[in-house]
Amino acid sequence: MTAHGTSETQTKVVVIGGGYSGTLAANRLRRRPGLHITLVNPRPRFVERIRLHQFVAGTHEATADYDTLLGDGIELVVDTATRIDTADRRIELASGTTLDYDYVIYAVGSTTALPTSVPGAAEFGYSVAELESAQQLRSALADLHPAAPVTVVGGGLTGVETAAELAEQGRRVTLIGGGQLVPTFSGPGRRSVVKALRRLGVTLMAADVVTEVRRDAVVLADGAVRPSAVTIWATGFGVPALAAASGLRTDDMGRLLTDETLTSVDDERIVAAGDCASPSGAPLRMCCATASQIGPQAADTVLSRIGGDIPARFDYAYAGACISLGRRAGIVQLARKDDAAVNVYLGGRMGARLKEAVCKGTLWSLRRAARKPEFAIAFKGGPRPTEPVPLPRAAV
């Protein structure tokens, strides 16, 4: 037995990150009996990131117990990986301990991204992207008079969901979009979002750009200063620096560069899943739909290697994107398999019900995979948006 209670002959797979993709991957690995599967995650509870805007507004707690989400035999280590020592096949943890591995599934997800290029954003901006940043935001809002002005910066899906949720709870919200609102939606879908936000009393400044954040205001590109007691920065996510810190090649954002089997271009024992993966340098949309499809396939790649088989190229497809607009409305924007929006959406209460069903469905699918390792949601997608050239594999 090793220090981690593993038999010397057991193949050790460590999944780094217990979000949607990592949890599904860990469960899927159980298809092959006899593996020692470890999941490393900084928190003892699963974070439902897709509900963090609700957590901030006080309409959901956005965490779930791992007990029902992880299948028998998966060891949960509550810690943070600080470096993957690929030479010695060892993961260094923040606690000072290490974990030996034969294979790693790199599923560290995405993070808050407060830009240093916008003065004051990192100092005074809040974020809904991670549980800890959402907790800070929730306490800042708790200390605030209900009529105090709140600004959401970013007109994408996360910014819109956050603005709507807070406005419905009675906050005075301005949404500053920096361009077009929800640019990935169809024209009719976008117009419906705008109508819903207006109904909730959100002040819309879709085209304006914030160039500075102050403790009590935001400054716009035209020099106008608008009071803002709390400013929420929601212009996109960053990713953890673990891959780069471990000497593995990444794309410009820091996502692990992989081939089309999701395997690191530097090390075939490291396989990526979810928001932190950049297959052939042509990453997919950072979203639950991607993470849920790719997580199990990352596990399949590892299982193929262990079994001496050639791993399959990954496959995926989309059906659309859905957002909540408070608790009483939502929009499901339908899309083609390649994620291009079509002019069909479902809105209003029906949209809200569908969105809620999707949120519940993600947890349901984790629980199902915990009970039945062979379970996976898989769509057949066809060609990648751009057929990227596989990157050259470096000598390990």
Ligand X SMILES: Cc1cc2nc3c(=O)[nH]c(=O)nc-3n(C[C@H](O)[C@H](O)[C@H](O)COP(=O)(O)OP(=O)(O)OC[C@H]3O[C@@H](n4cnc5c(N)ncnc54)[C@H](O)[C@@H]3O)c2cc1C
Is 127 or 280 the residue whose CB approaches ligand X more closely? 127
Angle between helices 157-168 and 187-199 (to 10 degrees): 30
Q: Is residue 81 within the footprint of ligand X (CB under 6 A)? A: yes
In the complex with ligand X, the residue whose CB is nearer, 101 or 219, is 101
Query: Which residue sits closest to ligand X, CB atoms considered?
Result: 19
State the Cα angle at 223 between 222 and 227, rounded to 5°.
115
The distance of closest approach from Cβ of residue 8 to ligand X in the complex, given in angstroms and rounded to an integer, is: 25
Q: Which of 38, 110, 231, 235 binds ligand X (CB under 6 A)?
A: 110
Residue 302 to residue 36: CA distance in whole angstroms: 13
From 118, 141, 289, 341, residue interacting with ligand X (rule: CB under 6 A)? 289
Question: Amino acid letter at 355?
Answer: K
The least CB distance from residue 239 to ligand X, in Å, is 9
Among 16, 74, 270, 284, binds ligand X (CB under 6 A): 16
Q: Which stretch binds ligand X (CB under 6 A): 10-18, 141-149, 311-319, 377-385?
A: 10-18
Q: Which among 192-200, 254-262, 282-290, 296-304 is the span making contact with ligand X, rule CB under 6 A?
A: 282-290
193 binds ligand X (CB under 6 A): no
Q: Which is nearer to ligand X, 109 or 373 (CB)?
A: 109
Per-position x/- string for 134-173, each x denoting binding to ligand X as judged by CB under 6 A, each - no binding: ------------------------x--x------------
Binding residues with ligand X: total (CB under 6 A): 34
Q: Spell out the residues 6+ positions from residue 300 whose beta carbon is closer than 8 angstroms to its own.
A: 28, 311, 312
* CA-CA-CA-CA dihedral for 369, 17, 59, 129, to nearest 10: -140
302 touches 105 (CB < 8 A):
yes
DSSP code at position 109: -
Q: How far apart are CA 329 and CA 335, in angstroms?
A: 20
Interface map 219-258 toward ligand X (x if CB under 6 A): ---------------------x-x----------------
CA distance 294 to 167: 34
Do the beta carbons of residue 341 and residue 189 sit within 8 Å? yes
47 binds ligand X (CB under 6 A): yes
Q: Binding residue for ligand X (CB under 6 A) from 41, 86, 228, 231?
A: 41
Alpha carbon distance 134, 111 (integer Å): 11
